[in-house]
Structure 1
Amino acid sequence: MAVTIETDHLKAVLNEKGAELASLKRKDADIEYIWQADPEFWKRHAPVLFPIVGSLKNGTYSYKGKTYQLPQHGFARDMNFELIEQKEDAASFRLKSTEETKKVYPFDFELVIGYVLGGDGLTVDYQVKNTADEEMYFSIGAHPAFNIPLEDSLTFTDYYVDPSPAKSRIHLPLKDGLIDLKQRTLGQTNTSIALNHELFKNDALIYETKGLNSFAIRTEKSPHSVTVSFKDFSYVGIWSTYPTKSSFVCIEPWVGIADTTESSGDLTEKLGIQKLAAQDIFHTKYAIVVK
């Protein structure tokens, strides 16, 4: 089922499957900012990544001597959430652990995703609760895809990514879907990044992020843009399909990251993994501003 929230200026559509943002429009400009999930290119809009971000080495991980399998980005994006609150301009969804989820992820949890429209954008709120009496390990991330170009008269290469603050960040390259720490370099995010499809020939661009960050997609040929802002996310991925040339770019704040090429497979040692005490709650949020 789809849930619609709106203000005088904005309208968003949210799917109960995956608690996924499926549409975000400015009413005054009639521009759709979210990729409409054409399966010929990529079948998703803005999936929630949980309980892992990225890929596992050999598709498996171990915890307390037992081996488990999880697909890339985990299972939350493919599960039906419960709508727990809806207002005119906001909605919240909940996913709880089940006997089925514990077969692949042996933790008791409650994941709540909240969406609130206001001003020129949408705030997305993540809350993870450990509902067990022992610690849990998890990662969580966002994967919103934005239509590029935003206007039919423009092209993909008319746009650029504008990082703020303008400073260099550690770039973490991927090798067969895993982080290759030996090849990490200083990424030139102290200036704008011109968009072209070749940029993604080696998969996503991944950077370490600390403190307040924003990544905007802009063009000099139009005032319309989209900005993703966040504070408490350790990494960001910038991605589009390659060699298929799709009309979208993802800006992805992550608390967690793919396994490294040197990963031991032990979940407690995983790069970027979060440890949550019994009955404790983890909370973070990010914002999408559309002009």
Structure 2
Amino acid sequence: MLTLKNDYLTVKINPLGAEVSSVRDNESGLEYMWQADAAYWGRHAPILFPIVGRLNQDQYTFQDHSYHMTQHGFARDRPFTIQDQTATRVVLQQTSDDKTRDVYPFDFTLTLTFELKDHELRTDLAVTNPAADTLYFSIGAHPGFNVPLGGALADFTDYQVTVSPKKTYQRIPLVGSASDSHHPVSLDLTQPLTLDHELFNHDAQILTLDNHETTVMLSTTADDHGVALTVAAPYLGIWSPYPKQAPFVCLEPWWGLADDVQASGQFTDKVGLQHLAGGQTFAAHYQITYF
């Protein structure tokens, strides 16, 4: 387990999947991250690559060959190597090999940089295409946060999600595990969204951000603690498992979507797919403030 620490926070990162498994307040000991209770969801904050969400029947076709890949791809279950590390920053990397090519016929280098500054953890995502041909992929993050936070007087329904800028967003419905991107619905977020488990009875709430910088804050009026995620991404998911009464919520920046209900199965037609020319690097980032 890797450790980043400053005067305010201590962060633990597992090189397997480059998963942030713990963020604790140094003074109070408050744990912000979901602790992967398998009775609800056995992960903390997986990285989603080279797909976000699920493929139709967990399959896709590329250049007349069929491939099988499970939900959210394989990066979360493979080790990353340490490229650089200081007390407050670590660079982790994963590259293609024969095993990844069996399910994903592309060469890639995936680099994640985690940097701790004051009360904020910034994550930089970089995908490099070392080949001449176009690289097709999606990428995302899936951090889960305790709700309520440890020691809080509040319960799940005392928490709210506040989105800035405050406006009406387009929400992409899910039909089973498929995105219905052709039938978005309006979601008024001019006021905070009060959490309720029923909010997730059709899986995640998926907001279309159109790559505009957006801050999504998870907080309660019962105390001063919460988290705020800031990102400029195409989409953001808000998720807690249903019908389980799970004591956590995920705030998920996505550069991709699950297969559409009308998906052809051709990988290059996949909704929300990123296209990266040979020799180029895709770069994105998000930051989470813990308070």
TM-score bracket, normalised by the shorter chain, equals over 0.9
2:158 paired residue number: 158
1:258 paired residue number: 258
Write the letter of the residue equivalent to 1:209: L
TM-score, length of structure 2 as denominator length = 0.97
Segment drifting more, 84-93 vs 24-33: 24-33
1:204 aligns with 2:208: no
1:274 aligns with 2:270: no
What is the deviation of 1:29? 2.8
What is the deviation of 1:182? 4.5
Write the letter of the residue equivalent to 1:145: G
Q: Could you say what secondary structure the match of 1:100 adopts?
A: helix
1:22 paired residue number: 21
Gaps of 5+ in 2: none
What is the deviation of 1:86? 1.0
Write the letter of the residue equivalent to 1:271: V
Q: Could you say what secondary structure the match of 1:257 adopts?
A: coil
Q: How does 1:6-21 map to 2 (within 5 A)?
A: 6-21=5-20
1:187 paired residue number: 187
Gaps of 5+ in 1: none
The whole-number CA distance in structure 1 between the counterparts of 2:122 and 2:64 is 39
2:234 paired residue number: 234
Residue deviations 1:114-159 (CA, integer Å, cap 9, x gap): 1000021100110100011211100000000000101332211110
Structure 1 stretches of at least 4 aligned residues deviating more than 6 Å after TM superposition: none
The whole-number CA distance in structure 2 between the counterparts of 1:141 and 1:208 is 14
Q: How does 1:87-166 map to 2 (within 5 A)?
A: 87-152=86-151, 153-166=153-166
1:222 paired residue number: 223
Residue deviations 1:197-254 (CA, integer Å, cap 9, x gap): 11111100001002100110011111111001001x1000000011111110000000
The whole-number CA distance in structure 2 between the counterparts of 1:198 and 1:53 is 23
Write the letter of the residue equivalent to 1:94: Q
What is the deviation of 1:74? 0.3
What is the deviation of 1:67? 1.1
What is the deviation of 1:26? 1.6
1:43 aligns with 2:42: yes
The whole-number CA distance in structure 1 between the counterparts of 2:227 and 2:283 is 24
Q: Could you say what secondary structure the match of 2:98 adopts?
A: coil
2:248 paired residue number: 248
What is the deviation of 1:167? 0.8
Segment drifting more, 150-159 vs 117-126: 150-159
2:172 and 2:208 in contact (8 A); partners too: yes
Q: Aligned pair count?
A: 289
